Amino acid sequence: MNKKLPFVIDEDININSKPSLLLHSCCAPCSSSVLEMLCEHFEVTVFYYNPNIFPESEYEKRLNEQKRFCKEFSNQNRTIGFLASEYCSEDFESASKELENVPEGGKRCTQCYRLRLEKTAMMAFEKGFDYFASTLSVSPLKDAKRLNAIGEELSKKYGTKYLVSDFKKQNGYKRSTELSKQYNMYRQDFCGCKYSLAERIMSAKAFIFDADGTLFDTMNFYEDFANRYLVMQGYEPEANIREKIRAKTITECCEYIKEKYKIEKSVDEIQDDLSKMLHDLYAKETGMKDGVFEFLKYSKQKGIRMCIATATAKNLLSLTLEHLGLQDYFEFVLTCPEVGATKREAKIYDECVRMLDLSQRDAVVFEDAHHAMITAKDAGYRVVAVREETELKFMEEILANCDIHVDSMMDLINRENL
């Protein structure tokens, strides 16, 4: 490898005519310094093929950023071509099968390198490029020796020259961060695959859990308690009452019921009636959702700090924590009434990180309700969506406003079901 260049150019190359090169790119930021180096020596076409990226919305976001950068970085001295493959997560799923729990940097990553490099080699052969290469080695986390060994093997298989490279050298990675800032690029703090994302989540300093529907299997009661109460009192509930009270606290629900149905009882009396129903639920009937206890135990052993942010009254939640023996897992419980805001605002999450003496980026929010996910995500938190049957009709909004959706929290540890 040339000491002045982080890649190898054939000695017999025609300096008066730039050879063509198909450059696989994992993302715009990584491609930036690589393109700056390569365009002096090659006619470069960027090839965007990354079926590992999760979810598809993230793929599209990175794809659009790559297109934008190629267009803006082209000038009178360099014209950068662009090709992209359709999103096909099945390619990655197949390549990584039975490697879901392998740590990042291991055999799963090797298979992912091979998958993307082979697609690039095939495309380079079909389109008649002189060379093919990848931006992957610009990352300090990527093994250039492994990448080059795969690239040279594929070069022999397809008959197109592979550009041996280690683009992180000669300050390649540092330069990529500078160009990313200059071009105001979107950057993410994980490679892109869902297994890497799960590892990143499990390396957080703190977890902020919602209670009902996330930790505890109580949402069916909440979905139906207003109906049950109104029928018991001789009133016919409106058809959409569940939606009317979905994001409200218990007190707000009582206020709504009294005003809407002109109930003679005071708000306090209505709340007393509901409190009796809720007391039995939380003290005797409430159970944990699938995998919760194992996940809490694992997280505590890892030293991850945990708290609860909930709209449920603290006295009720204390009954469940005692009933299930979970008091010692959480540093504190913070309620919406205590912060003076529902989860339509991020106030409760922000107060949690303040009480933990951490920053927003140190914490992960676990929620089941789509409106709370939207709030947390818009506020800049990483969000894990926990499957809740009563929220399935909002799945489109949920997937658009979470980082990852899990059927069980244990899927973040045993990742075969992600």
Handedness of CA 48, 51, 56, 57 (dihedral sign): negative
Mean pLDDT score of the chain: 92
CA 293/CA 81 separation, integer angstroms: 52
CA 373/CA 371 separation, integer angstroms: 5
Backbone angles phi, psi at 384, to 5 degrees: -105, 120
DSSP string, 269-323: HHHHHHHHHHHHIIIII--BPTTHHHHHHHHHHTT-EEEEEESS-HHHHHHHHHH
CA 143/CA 110 separation, integer angstroms: 9
Nearest Cα residue to 313 out of 287, 336, 296, 330: 336
Q: What is the pLDDT of residue 12?
A: 56
Per-residue confidence band for 374, with pLDDT thresholds at 50, 70 and 90: very high
Q: What is the pLDDT of residue 275?
A: 79
| pTM value surpassing 0.75 | yes
CA 115/CA 319 separation, integer angstroms: 52
pLDDT digits (tens, 9 = 90+) for 146-167: 999 999 999 999 999 999 999 9
Q: Which residue carries 């096909």 as its tokens?
A: 88
Nearest Cα residue to 89 out of 52, 48, 49, 47: 52
